[in-house]
A and B are shown apart, each in its own frame.
Chain A
């Protein structure tokens, strides 16, 4: 039987030191990690439980922005009054994620680090080939069941979709990840699969997410997260869009626009092409729909996931227009 050690971290430094050792993994809410251990994907020698660390679950919101501790629970952040009023897209991304039970357990740090739902990745007993799990072993998904796989940011090595909702909203609003002292834009924190799909984040051994910081903005204040899926709740996105908008004084001309796509790409996907195409323009349904098509520039499908290429621009357009209606 695989024995593993369980340590309860007494300080962030101790956690980081322990996590620097090979085979060691941080344990937060456990809703991803325990799951992956059960299906034989995660095989840690040591688990370092960080949930007892003090002060890492704070949620501070002020004029400049929000800082959310890595151990804050998804549910708490979703329900936080200032997050709801200043960053509606963040709250909406969270409460549409997973289930109430999971949101009560799961942390913000763990949420960013969640792994793909690619069924081949999650079933090593039946599918030996998976470059993400075992570099160089091949990709079982290509040529197989791809309905949930990415159409953007894929490589020949891996087409796995990044399933998280929160990070999609974060990347739209230029949030940064705090790894102790080191700070990285969320966009830089997540890596494209390229030839190394096993490496998903720019986090180094011995580093730990301590907080995320989201700058305040008018666009963040008027923002939304639109998540489309077959099941009304408790399902990952078929396609989603985090959108924030700021109008000129006329209430129609777009001054600032932030857009990111979820459910369709290998990482949280900022779509600056659509932002740039619409900034300075008046909000008109036709213009918005046409510009939204830029969201899937360069998309490549693998058969069953083709619908995502149709769906994603429509989700973007609807989210933008919905924000316009509240003007």
Chain B
């Protein structure tokens, strides 16, 4: 991999880039995988060419609730090229696998094809054929008949009920209802978010290939070791027998962390056929083959005094889950920590509806939670006649209001200050509908966001090779966030070689194990592990240099050697000066290898397996004395056409605290990506349901709208973070999910300022404003 376009960025106000060299940690090195992706040289998982590859195509249920009465496969089986038609009766039986906490599964079989239909679009059969086209054609000939029962289509369905209380979500202190009743100012409103979809460019799919009882799976994955564990348990083979390969991922946003039912279908087909099988979802199937963000409903009531000081927050949330799966979207997660309040109560229910089980989508929980509380505080600001920024500062939480622990770092005040200054907030005219440009009503809105620092242990291998180059290996992944690049920077800086001389190998479960790339934890975990492994490789190198009689540095003291730019020398330049390659040659070594992990010293093999294949060992963000979060403040300008109700975002200034940035350029890109996704969430994205059939009808990218370039103005992002060593080894906090949190309420608040209309149901489409 070559590195293009290296430049040291201009340091911005509060920039946490350390002013470091481009190639060092903290430098603005461009994505090392960029050229391969742009030129098409990067080979994605399902692009592997395998001898004898067969193609599987899924058949999905066309009803939302009921039972499969019969599946007539005769015509499909007789269709040209068809190798097999899999139904619940003909597919091999698998064992149920553990969930992502590693909870031992019930001892019962697992069938990825359904007899009991709990949502429209459920996999009921699959056709495998010699070519993709043959499989598509035959899949249309599989005739499924059903006994249909009434479906609960969504949260507003009369049959849905109040749902199941999730006690673990309850957070309470003080006496919130009483304080609310006594408060001189009271607001209460309901906020709704619809089903939203990750819509990654690369659809889900895989190639499964069995050799004896060894399974290789090429599959886009945010978590190779977790998915390998699932395959191993399904097929009852040792974990070591499953190899997952996922060199690049064309977008995950939370949706590619688990092996899903389509994965099981393809791997079963491959096993039954004795041939490698490829299965890729169609775009419509990506709307029902796995879950997007659950639809949510929240009510937020705030009691305050006339100065806008919050006395009480009472919050009730509901999210949908599936008939037989459990997904909790923690709706009180931001509500409980953003503002200081003496009295608080948050409770949450989940409601079963006939949907695929919802899943993780960028900042699950925090994202809808922020839409509720950050809209509500804006409503309070107008109610008491205080500037929306000022009211946030008045209620600033100096410590975690829930755990009463100190923040590890919270640069939110700095974020408000920097954002307001760059945006020009002080020039805002407070009254709604008071700023306009011709037919365009102009509105300015602010909202804050946060995301917890999720921490875990990591492992990496670092090798110094005979030619002096450095190799890093990890089964972690890069889905565009820049893992290849920051790990190259970490190894380069630690060993003392140019980043160009570092090759990072990721995305193969044969490499050193890694936990999930989700919850914005990967960079913090992996830079720590690579730093540790690279330090140990460097120690070995220096040790060889001074201990081996053939070394020109023999008998010198370790602290008299400097390794930099791939050369070893004495610091004053008065001794030998040789390249790493020359040194290795002189001592007769062809490599140095070190494995480093950040696991506690007494960890057992069992602990390690658990750490990398489940999320059970993740460290709570409130562990010990500190509460650890990333923070941000978004300042957004919208222009709303007064006749048409169309909303366009015309300016975004966001100030964000992700602690120390390992690579500011990549962090800024991720923040902007999150903000763009937030603009989509605010204005466009919504799964539209035909309630008669419980089916999402806009299941394609012409009808499920995500923003285009034309919808996105220039976005200014400002880093206000400072190194936070309570959060990670090198001082960074989470980056990837933070940016989206708070964007939708900032836009809704700006729309209110522009129009005087408060939209509490996302997305803010034109008919809600005309």
Contacts and interface: CB of A to CB of B under 8 A. Distances in A.
Interface string A228-272: 111111110010000000000000000000000000000000000
B140 A230 contact: no
Contacts of A125: 62, 140
A145 B688 contact: yes
Contacts, number: 83
Interface stretch (A115-123, A178-186, A191-199): A115-123
A1 B644 contact: no
A2 interface: yes
19 contacts: A1-B80, A117-B702, A119-B697, A119-B698, A123-B284, A125-B140, A126-B693, A145-B698, A228-B644, A230-B684, A231-B705, A231-B707, A231-B708, A232-B648, A232-B710, A233-B710, A238-B766, A314-B643, A314-B644
A147 B688 contact: yes
Contact of A311 (B80, B284, B693, B766): B766
B695 interface: yes
Interface string A309-324: 0110011011000000
A310 B766 CA distance: 11
A113 B766 CA distance: 29
B132 to A, nearest CB: 10
B287 to A, nearest CB: 12
- Interface size range of chain B in the complex: 35 or more
Interface of A: 1-2, 40, 117, 119-120, 123, 125-126, 143-145, 147, 228-235, 238, 306-307, 310-311, 314-315, 317-318
Contacts of A233: 708-711
Nearest to B60: A125
B408 to A, nearest CB: 40
A231 B711 contact: yes
Contacts of A145: 688-690, 697-698
A315 B707 contact: no
Contacts of A147: 688
Given A228-B644, A233-B708, A233-B709, 5 more contacts: A1-B80, A125-B62, A228-B641, A230-B705, A232-B711
B107 interface: no
A144 B692 contact: yes
B767 A126 contact: no
A181 B276 CA distance: 56
Nearest to A307: B767
Nearest 4 pairs of A and B residues by beta carbon? A307-B767, A233-B710, A232-B710, A1-B137
Contacts of B697: 119-120, 123, 144-145
Interface of B: 62, 79-81, 120, 133-134, 137-138, 140, 284, 439, 641, 643-646, 648, 683-684, 688-690, 692-693, 695, 697-698, 702-703, 705, 707-711, 763, 765-767, 770
B649 to A, nearest CB: 10
Contacts of B690: 144-145
A230 B711 CA distance: 10
A315 B81 contact: no
B62 A126 contact: yes
Contacts of A120: 697
Given A144-B692, A145-B697, A230-B684, A310 B708 contact: no
A230 B766 contact: yes
Nearest to B80: A1
Contacts of B766: 228, 230, 238, 307, 311
B707, B710, B711, B767, most chain A CB atoms within 10 A: B767
B134 to A, nearest CB: 5
A307 B695 CA distance: 23
Contacts of A144: 690, 692-693, 697
A247 B693 CA distance: 53
Contacts of B683: 230
A116 B299 CA distance: 40
> Which label, helix, strand, loop or mixed, suits the secondary structure of the A interface?
loop
Given A230-B646, A231-B711, A2 B137 contact: yes
A323 B169 CA distance: 58
B703 to A, nearest CB: 7
A311 B770 CA distance: 8
A318 to B, nearest CB: 6
A183 to B, nearest CB: 33
Contacts of B693: 126, 144
A40 B57 CA distance: 15
Given A144-B697, A318-B643, A232 B79 contact: no
Given A126-B62, A230-B646, A311-B644, A117 B138 contact: no
A40 B140 contact: yes
A228 B646 contact: yes
A145 B688 CA distance: 8
A310 B765 CA distance: 14
Contacts of A117: 702-703
Given A123-B697, A144-B697, A230 B765 contact: yes
B637 to A, nearest CB: 15
Contact of A234 (B120, B439, B708): B708
Contacts of B646: 228-230
Nearest to A148: B703
A129 to B, nearest CB: 11
Nearest to A120: B697
Contacts of A1: 79-81, 133-134, 137-138
Contacts of A126: 62, 120, 693, 695
Given A1-B134, A230-B684, A143 B62 contact: no
Contacts of A143: 692
A232 B684 CA distance: 11
B439 A318 contact: yes
A2, A40, A117, A232, most chain B CB atoms within 10 A: A232
A232 B708 contact: yes
B414 to A, nearest CB: 33
A79 B688 CA distance: 36
A292 to B, nearest CB: 11
A297 B133 CA distance: 48
Contacts of B684: 230-231
A48 B455 CA distance: 60
Contacts of B695: 126
A40, A144, A145, A235, most chain B CB atoms within 10 A: A145
Contacts of A306: 767
B102 to A, nearest CB: 38
A147 B768 CA distance: 13
A301 to B, nearest CB: 11
Given A126-B693, A144-B692, A119 B703 contact: yes
Nearest to A147: B688
A230 B683 CA distance: 8
A118 to B, nearest CB: 10
A230 B685 CA distance: 11
Contacts of B79: 1
Nearest to B120: A126
A123 B690 CA distance: 13
Nearest to A1: B137
A270 B25 CA distance: 63
A74 B758 CA distance: 41
Contacts of B284: 123
Contacts of A229: 646
Nearest to A144: B690
A232 B284 CA distance: 24
Nearest to B121: A126
A33 to B, nearest CB: 15
A210 B711 CA distance: 37
Contacts of B689: 145
Nearest to A229: B646
Nearest to B711: A232
Contacts of A231: 684, 705, 707-708, 710-711
A233 B707 CA distance: 9
Contacts of B765: 230
